[in-house]
Amino acid sequence: MLNVVIFGAPGSGKGTQSDLIVKKYGLVHLSTGDLLRAEIEKGTKTGKLANELISKGSFVPDDVIIEILNKNIDLYPTAKGFIFDGFPRTVVQSEALDSMLKKRNIKVNVMLNIDVKTDELVKRLLIRGKTSGRSDDNLETIQKRIRIYEEKTLPVMQFYDRQGKHNRIKGDGTMDEVFAEICTAIDKTKA
Ligand code: AMP
């Protein structure tokens, strides 16, 4: 079983790289952002709460997101592994993920931290905003999301650093260059 945490600021390319990882390693992609957007589409109670928070650029409470993820892991009993995208975003979530996986006798094998400079993130998200239809891809919300990410990031990075699982990936290259670095980091854990 190979479980990957893909980590990086909004606009760092987590979604794109996750798709490539899924294709090459056959993992199940669990993106908490996508799961929340699906709840919004369905108009559930969680979706209504998420809608408000996401459009403000704020985080959804830890307990809500942990419950969603827990339920979704159970939907794939035969998975070869998971790629967790956009989760964990806080230390509480990192600890919850560890215990969720421990209960199932599995663990996070590798954490990939896609590092992109702030100016480049803003540029990419503004371009994405022209076509994504996402309520949070506008300048004010983008800046807030990056600020919140920076505030919460360091402790999550340190959490995986202490476990020897943190890999910094240079995220400003081409899609193929970034993916090559990702594959090296993943393959190292399997060696
Ligand atoms: P993303 O698609 O990963 O950029 O997520 C979009 C938005 O969903 C974020 O800006 C948060 O408002 C919310 N969200 C996604 N994942 C989480 C999480 N793990 N914890 C809290 N909020 C989240």
Q: Residue 191's pLDDT is what?
A: 67
Atom of ligand 1 nearest to the CA of 89: 19
Q: Which of 62, 89, 135, 141 to mutate to test the pocket of ligand 1 (most atoms within 8 A of CB)?
A: 89
Residue with tokens 């919004």: 40
Tens of each residue's pLDDT in the chain, 191 residues: 999 999 999 999 999 999 999 999 999 999 999 999 999 999 999 999 999 999 999 999 999 999 999 999 999 999 999 999 999 999 999 999 999 999 999 999 999 999 999 999 999 999 999 999 999 999 999 999 999 999 988 899 999 999 999 999 999 999 999 999 999 999 999 76
Testing ligand 1's pocket by substitution, the residue of 36, 92, 146 carrying the most ligand atoms inside 8 A of its CB is: 36
| Spatial separation of the C-alpha atoms in residues 144 and 125, rounded to whole Å | 13
Distance CA 115, CA 7 (A): 9
> What is the set of active-site residues?
14, 89, 128, 134, 145
Ligand 1 centre distance from Cα of residue 191 (Å) = 32
- CATH superfamily to which 2-186 belongs: P-loop containing nucleotide triphosphate hydrolases (3.40.50.300)
Give me the long-range contacts of 148-155 (CB less than 8 A, separation at least 24).
Answer: 148/57, 148/58, 148/59, 149/9, 149/10, 149/89, 150/9, 152/59, 152/89, 152/90, 153/9, 155/90, 155/91
Domain boundaries, the chain: 2-186
Report the candidate in 105, 85, 109, 106 with the shortest Cα–Cα distance to residue 20: 85
Q: Which residues line ligand 1 (CB under 6 A)?
A: 10, 32-33, 36, 53-54, 57-60, 65, 86-87, 89, 93, 136, 145
Output the pTM of the full model.
0.94
pLDDT of residue 118: 94
